[in-house]
Amino acid sequence: MNEPTTLPDGLMAEVADLMVAALNLDIAAGEIDPDAPLFGEGLGLDSIDILEVALAVSKQYGFQLRSDDEDNVRIFASLRSLAGHVAQHRIK
């Protein structure tokens, strides 16, 4: 699948804000490294967090996430990949 190489202006920051708000993270949105892993040694998110973010994404951008295994891992690989997925699938 082709990832858009450039994201719409401000989308990455918007998704970062959404994550910080949805998860009540102890970090400012601007401090999230766009390319650091969201799971494990990066932000340390777990599956509960992923579901919270998915819910917030579906409300704000109007599309549902689905577990197509590999895809899912790729979507939540980093802030950049999540924002890229949102850019591709958003309907609002």
Task: Dig out the tokens for 10 from the structure.
Answer: 């401000």
Stretch that binds other proteins, among 1-9, 13-21, 50-58, 82-90 (CB under 8 A): 50-58
Among 65, 82, 83, 86, binds other proteins (CB under 8 A): 65
Alpha-carbon distance of 21 to 88, in angstroms, equals 22
Q: Residues of 18-40 as b/e, b for ≥16 C-beta within 10 angstroms?
A: bbbebbebeeebeebeeeebbbe
Please check whether residue 2 is in contact with residue 86, taking contact to mean a CB–CB distance below 8 angstroms: no
Least distance from C-beta 67 to other proteins, angstroms?
5
Alpha-carbon distance of 45 to 41, in angstroms, equals 9
Asked if 71 interacts with other proteins (CB under 8 A), we say no
Asked if 21 interacts with other proteins (CB under 8 A), we say no
Asked if 64 interacts with other proteins (CB under 8 A), we say yes
Least distance from C-beta 87 to other proteins, angstroms?
19
Footprint on this chain of other proteins (rule: CB under 8 A): 24-26, 40-41, 44, 46-48, 50-52, 54-55, 58-59, 64-67, 72
